[in-house]
Amino acid sequence: MSGARRAAFVVFAKAPHPGAVKTRMTPGLHPEAAADLYRCMLEDVLEATAGAARALDAELVLAVHPPDALRELADLAPAAFRSVAQRGPDLGRRMEWAVAEAAAGGARAVVLRGSDSPALGASAFHEALAALDEAELALSPDRDGGYNLVALRRPAPGLFDHPMSTASVLEDTRLRARGLGLRVRTLAPSFDLDTPADLALLESARRADPDLPCPRTLAWLDRHEVWKRAPD
């Protein structure tokens, strides 16, 4: 995508409260430890996304759920972020709303990312925007059949009208895109941290790349041993 066309980078985030985040990390972790992990992940994601936005002259948006956590997460985010409450009865509707809201504000491309993939670096944003030179939709797959980053040139009503957070969500989104006449590009894959076993993936990724963009999450990993006991 041409550098003259300003993009919006939208981070989806939850309040880091015990019992409300990283529930698939328990009972391997206590709810308090899982919430602490999520907070570290979120802070890393916000910092890395802000760095990518500076390099690419993109707007930063923090999309918060639930709405009553708006002030709490706004205080956690770097000052460059504009914070909004997510709107919609389910994740797919909230994603569609976020794309439409950013586009209504003048964004010529919108990149959505979650807060579960702290190893996803700035290169993913460069790759996503470059992909939009040839396609209307770009997706970065994760290892569980979903995706952790989605980039769109413009709103695509109905794109996310299927069950989300399933093992087929990537393929379901591709099918919806084809039905809407959208050209799709698949980006380099990454991985989410959803279960204790996923923490071993992060450790392996660190050995391969000591400069991963998630220092807080890696520091948390160093303070805990649960990933060493997780099954393969």
- For 138-206, the three-class secondary structure string (H helix, E strand, C coil) is EEEECCCCCEEEEEECCCCCCCCCCCCCCCCHHHHHHHHHHHCCCCEEECCCCCCCCCHHHHHHHHHHH
Fold of 7-194: Spore Coat Polysaccharide Biosynthesis Protein SpsA; Chain A (3.90.550)
DSSP class of residue 115?
S
Q: Domain ranges in the chain? A: 7-194
Query: Angle at the Cα of 39 (from 34 to 43), degrees rounded to 5?
Result: 150
Query: Angle at the Cα of 120 (from 116 to 126), degrees rounded to 5?
Result: 135
Gap between the Cα atoms of 70 and 76, Å rounded: 10
Gap between the Cα atoms of 39 and 198, Å rounded: 17
Contact 18, 32 (CB under 8 A): yes
* pLDDT attached to residue 229: 57
* pLDDT attached to residue 117: 96
Gap between the Cα atoms of 51 and 46, Å rounded: 9
* pLDDT attached to residue 4: 39
* pLDDT attached to residue 165: 80
Radius of gyration of the chain (CA): 17
Q: Please, which residues have CB within 8 angstroms of residue 203's CB and are 6 or more apart in sequence?
A: 221, 227
Task: Name the stretches of the chain with pLDDT < 70.
Answer: 1-5, 226-232
Where are the extended beta strands (E) located within 3-101?
7-14, 59-65, 82-85
